[in-house]
Amino acid sequence: MQAAVNESMQNTADLFIIAGRQIAPIPLGKRTVKVQRYDHKKKAHIEEDQTLDFFRYMIDLPPSGGMDVKLGNNQFVHGETYDLDLNTLRSVQEVIYRSWMHEAQINGNQEAQWGRKKLNTTMSMKSGRVTHG
């Protein structure tokens, strides 16, 4: 299980290297927390204990990303450090990653152009012929 978590975190970290940001979550270990789930048979919320992996993570938003990330009823402020369970961490990282991608797009670093070969395309005004050189 721990190997799968480490591999998942490495894949997520690779996304941030692509985005030009490298803020790695710090593993804190497992913690037991109370979680509410809805039981359809009993038609009621049931509170139970679950053991979850926790990580410490600093919120680093781009200039166009606003001041915080809001997830459900939780607010994660830029520049602050939080202890997050694995699922919340993945969601927060996804929002931050997309914010940095948006920042790159509005500043001219088009994501669609990354890795594409530039073509020397010319068009003749007389014949309308297009050549790629």
Q: What is the mean pLDDT of each run of 10 residues along the chain (133 residues)?
A: 53 48 81 88 90 90 85 90 92 90 74 55 73 68
* Confidence at residue 103, expressed as pLDDT on a 0 to 100 scale: 82
**Domain encompassing residue 101:** 2-132
* Confidence at residue 113, expressed as pLDDT on a 0 to 100 scale: 53
* Confidence at residue 121, expressed as pLDDT on a 0 to 100 scale: 67
Number of compact structural domains in the chain: 1
* Confidence at residue 70, expressed as pLDDT on a 0 to 100 scale: 92
* Confidence at residue 55, expressed as pLDDT on a 0 to 100 scale: 93
> Cα(89)–Cα(95) distance, rounded to whole angstroms?
10
Backbone CA torsion sign across 37, 38, 42, 46: positive
> Cα(99)–Cα(90) distance, rounded to whole angstroms?
14
